[in-house]
Amino acid sequence: MKFGEKLKSLRIKHELSQAQLAEMINVSRQAVTKWENENGMPDIENLKLIAKIFDVSIDSLVYEEEEVESTDDDFCWEIACTFGIIGLVLTFLFDGVFTNMGAAGIGLGVIGYLLGKIFLLFKSKDRCSKR
C-alpha cells in the first residue's frame, strides 16, 4: 500500500475530513488531497505530525511493503478480556451467593471494551491538542 492510500485510510478510520487533518498539521486541504492522490509527499516535520496524530510509526507510513500498524483495537480487546476474566473469576468465587452472576463475565467484558475505547478517544484528543 502506498503512502497516499495509507493516509486516506487512517484519516477515514479516525473520522477526519481532509480539512480537519490539514488544520491539525497546519497545511492546506489541497496539500492533503495532493498527498492522498500520490502527487506529492509531506516534508519530514509533517510526516512526524501525521505519525503522532494517528499513533503509527513513520516507517509504516512511508514503506510500501509495511501495513500501517495501530494497536487501538488490540488495546480495547485486551481490556475487554481482562474485565471478562475478572467477571468469570467472580462468578466462580461467589457461586450461589449472587443470582445471574454468569452474565458478569460478559458484562464486565463489554464494560472493559467501552472503557478502552473511551480512554483511546481522550488520548487521541489530547495528542491532537498538544500539537
Q: How many domains does the structure of the chain reveal?
A: 2
Q: Looking at the structure, do residues 46 and 88 belong to the same domain, yes or no?
A: no
Domain that holds residue 82: 72-129
Q: Of 92, 87, 90, 91, nearest to 112 (Cα)? A: 87
From start to end of the chain, where are the E strands?
Answer: none
- Strand, coil or helix: 46: helix
User: Residue 67 falls within a domain, yes or no?
Assistant: no
Q: Which of 44, 62, 80 is the last residue of a domain?
A: 62
Q: Looking at the structure, do residues 76 and 116 belong to the same domain, yes or no?
A: yes
Q: Looking at the structure, do residues 19 and 37 belong to the same domain, yes or no?
A: yes
Cβ atoms within 10 Å of 28's Cβ, excluding its own:
12
Do residues 71 and 56 lie in contact, with contact meaning Cβ atoms separated by under 8 Å?
no
User: Residue 116 falls within a domain, yes or no?
Assistant: yes
User: Residue 87 falls within a domain, yes or no?
Assistant: yes
Q: Looking at the structure, do residues 78 and 29 belong to the same domain, yes or no?
A: no
Question: What would the pLDDT profile of 81-102 be if each residue is shown by its tens digit?
Answer: 777 777 767 666 766 655 555 5
Highest average pLDDT, of 32-36, 63-67, 78-82, comes from 32-36
In degrees, rounded to 5, the angle at the alpha carbon of residue 67 between the alpha carbons of residues 113 and 30 is 95
Q: Is the model more confident about 60 or about 98?
A: 60
Determine the distance from the C-alpha atom of residue 23 to the mean position of all C-alpha atoms in its chain, rounded to a whole number.
20
We report the CATH number of the domain holding residue 56 as: 1.10.260.40
User: Residue 113 falls within a domain, yes or no?
Assistant: yes
The pTM of the whole model exceeds 0.85 = no
Q: Of 14, 54, 21, 15, nearest to 36 (Cα)? A: 21
The distance in angstroms from the start CA to the end CA of the chain is 27
Residue 86: Cβ-neighbour burial (10 angstroms; 0-12, 13-18, 19+): middle
Amino acid present at 18:
Q
User: Residue 11 falls within a domain, yes or no?
Assistant: yes
Q: Which of 19, 43, 62 is the last residue of a domain?
A: 62
Q: Looking at the structure, do residues 48 and 80 belong to the same domain, yes or no?
A: no
Q: Looking at the structure, do residues 49 and 91 belong to the same domain, yes or no?
A: no
Determine the distance from the C-alpha atom of residue 41 to the mean position of all C-alpha atoms in its chain, rounded to a whole number.
23
